[in-house]
Amino acid sequence: MRKASLLILSLFVFWSVSAGAAVKTEQKTLTTFGGLLGKMSGMFGGKSAKEGIMETVAVKGNRKITRTNDTGQIIDLDEEKIYELNIKGKSYRVVTFEELRKQMREAQEKMTKEMAKMQDAPPTPTRPEGSSEMEISYDLKDSGLKKSISGYDCREMVMTITVHEKGKQLEDTGGMVLTSNMWITPRIDAVKEIQDFDTRYFQKLMTAVDLQQMQQMMGAMAANPFFKDAMEKFAQESAKMDGTTMLTVAKYETVMSKAQVAQQSQSKQAQKEDDSDVPTSIGGLFGGLAKKAVKKKAEDNNEAAAPSTPGRSAFMTSTIELLKITPDVADADLAIPDGFKLKK
């Protein structure tokens, strides 16, 4: 009886903490692209492409809602159901955890069969003949900069991930660079409630996965020299990022090799010489003036987007900012909106 009473008391305490925990956050995500893709996105991407996407996340006990302007998702751990919301169409559909578990089991079985085929197949070269072996470099450092974001004192951590030819400098052979500027404040317990919910959700779904097979696959990935060093260094230095990230600006850049930079420089010089030719006719005169005017306008428009380092081009920049954190969550915030109809 004593053990049973202690068990009931423990469950009551756990349920009380779990059910009472509540938090609501608002964040904005803005993604911009460089070059032609950026121009097309600005022309046809609509309001969200220019101003970003607002996302609201609310957790109360064992229920969570994630909502943007167009879509929403409600996860209920007690019901083991997910409600997918179509905001514009004012409708929703229901997916059960068991349906997701079935999909996960089928995906793992397929992956296991594919891995078995690869093991039975004759060995193949690790990379195509004539290609270079690539290397991932990882660096994390405190910039020393500090500022206030949404009322929270933050410090900046800069993470740089570089992909380049092994044994050579990035500037010599070219490659890719991801730079993340993360502004971190001491851990906010309210935000951790969202992470704890996601952990409980993950644990419920993971009952469908063969953990032994999963460990084998993770072990094989960790043993791959392409990822091993970067993963080990990330694990060692991740403690430096302990806290709540209020703002992240991630920039993806492509880097040209020295030969490509030289070739580009020669091409620009040839273009300048071509533009400096003096026209010998009235038609040529006006044609040349129009050509230079168009070129000048293009240069003015692209001046701000020009890479700060020669040979580098920003392919994509993503900005995620946590704007608001509040413990005020009503039951109505987590409910299916009025007037929404079930879509089967």
Do the domain assignments include residue 122? Answer: no
| pLDDT value for 179 | 92
| pLDDT value for 314 | 83
CB neighbour list of residue 60: distance below 8 Å, 6 or more residues apart? 19, 21, 22, 329, 331, 333, 334
Do the domain assignments include residue 238? Answer: yes
- Does this model's pTM top 0.95? no
Domain count, the chain: 1
Backbone φ, ψ for residue 325 (5° rounding):
-135, 125
| pLDDT value for 307 | 44
| pLDDT value for 15 | 37
CA atoms of 96 and 49, how far apart (whole Å): 33
Do the domain assignments include residue 11? Answer: no
Count of helices and strands (H, E) across the chain = 10, 12
CA atoms of 316 and 175, how far apart (whole Å): 15
Do the domain assignments include residue 8? Answer: no
Tell me which residue range forms the domain holding 337.
Answer: 20-106+133-271+291-342
| pLDDT value for 10 | 39
| pLDDT value for 208 | 64
Do the domain assignments include residue 111? Answer: no
Residue by residue, pLDDT tens for the chain (344 residues) are 444 433 333 333 333 334 457 999 999 999 988 766 666 666 666 777 788 899 999 999 999 999 998 899 999 999 999 999 999 999 999 999 999 999 988 888 888 788 777 767 666 555 555 556 778 888 889 999 999 999 999 999 999 988 888 888 887 788 889 899 999 999 998 898 999 999 999 999 887 666 565 555 556 555 555 556 656 666 666 667 789 999 999 999 888 887 777 777 777 767 766 665 545 554 444 445 445 554 554 444 444 444 456 678 888 999 999 999 999 899 999 999 999 999 97
Do the domain assignments include residue 248? Answer: yes
Do the domain assignments include residue 182? Answer: yes
Task: Tell me the DSSP string of 22-71.
Answer: EEEEEEEEEEEE-HHHHHHHHHHSHHHHHH-EEEEEEEETTEEEEE-SSE
CA atoms of 25 and 190, how far apart (whole Å): 9
